[in-house]
Amino acid sequence: MKKLSLVIICVLCIVSCTETKRNKNKAQKGAMAHSVGKINELSVVIDNDLWKGKIGDTIRKYFGAEVPGLPQEEPLFSMRQMPVEAFSGLARKNRTFLWIKNGEKSGYTVLNNKYATPQVGAVISGTGNEIIDLIRKHHETIISKYKVTETKEKQKRIRKSLEKIPQLPEKLGITLKIPTAYRVAIEEDSFFWIRKDIPQGSMNLMIYELPLGTVTKDSNTVSSIIKMRDSIGAKKIPTEVGNFVTEEAYAPYLYETTLDGRFTFETKGTWEIKDRFMAGPFVNYVIEDTPNNRLVVLEGFVFAPSVNKRDNMFELEAIMKSIKFE
């Protein structure tokens, strides 16, 4: 009897191990490939003739629109067009794609992780003006989904090598995911200037706090933000001559958003040091930290004359959007 029980147990163990191995192999075979591509690179799947016509013009108008706040014209996405027959293999692994299906029933669909992960694809089908109308109707939603995906991917890459700055939670009660290439240039009780050297200049972060109510929520919001940042810039950013201030010739772009669940003003514009003929883009976040009766201000700015700055600014935005309140 004991021998029979032992045989049964052995058989059950063998069956169990075999089934586990089969399930593991199935999972490995079914595992989805990781997406590929540079940050802010968009694959556009569309017939060559349509790309050269009105539909292509509409795609370029919205998805190749100028990034707000940059001193030079740079597109939202670097687009790579391909006909449908080329959209296979590695080409299907790009993180973001826009697929135009001409001659099919009119419709708009978003595909999440269809061929790789993470991945967002928008499929627009129809004929002629139907496709153009759908692009016009849905482009803001599609772009927003693309940007969320790209920001998460950038933050994932940043997390691979992080700089430890314990002073931020100690003095300001916040944490940020900051790459090791950055260094603290100035540290005070309620102000930090953090920098990264790049071949043609530098990338910069300012982090500080101000009393709640410093920035008004009315028709004077933009002017109060400019006044705030010009005052801080003049005091905290050292220059040989002139002050680090907001460019007067162009009104900044103002948006409302949330960071770590807190209401936030997002401002994009151009900074300048007049007497030195220096200028560049900035993005400023004014975050309402009501529980602590204060504003937390994050600002990223780039100095890199005569080179493109879209991806530099996108990195700074990704860092600032990683903020967590202790």
Interval 157-191: pLDDT, tens? 999 999 999 999 999 999 999 999 999 999 999 99
- The topology under which CATH files domain 167-325 is Protein Transport Mog1p; Chain A (3.40.1000)
For residue 147, pLDDT over 50 is answered with yes
Domain with CATH 3.40.1000.10 in the chain: 167-325
- The topology under which CATH files domain 41-158 is Chitobiase; domain 2 (3.30.379)
What residues does 100 pair with on adjacent strands? 124
Q: Tell me how far apart the terminal alpha carbons of the chain are, to the nearest angstrom.
A: 64
What is the pLDDT, as a whole number, of residue 30? 55
Judge residue 202's burial from the number of C-beta atoms within 10 Å of its C-beta, 0-12 exposed, 13-18 middle, 19 or more buried.
Answer: middle
Q: For residue 8, what pLDDT band results from cuts at 50, 70 and 90?
A: very low
Looking at every residue in the chain, the average pLDDT score rounds to 90
- In the chain, the percentage of residues whose pLDDT exceeds 70 is 91
Q: Whole-angstrom Cα distance, residue 245 to residue 257?
A: 24
In Å, what is the CA distance from 33 to each residue of 27, 30, 90, 158, 200? 12, 9, 10, 21, 36
Average pLDDT over residues 80-89: 97
Q: What angle do CA 176, 178, 182 make, to 5 degrees?
A: 135
Instruction: Compare 243 and 325 and report the one with higher pLDDT.
Output: 325
Q: Whole-angstrom Cα distance, residue 247 to residue 286?
A: 19
DSSP annotation of 87: -
Range list of H helices, 237-306: none
Q: What is the pTM of this model?
A: 0.88
Domain with CATH 3.30.379 in the chain: 41-158
Instruction: Compare 243 and 101 and report the one with higher pLDDT.
Output: 101
What is the CB-side half-sphere exposure of residue 126 using CA atoms within 13 A?
15
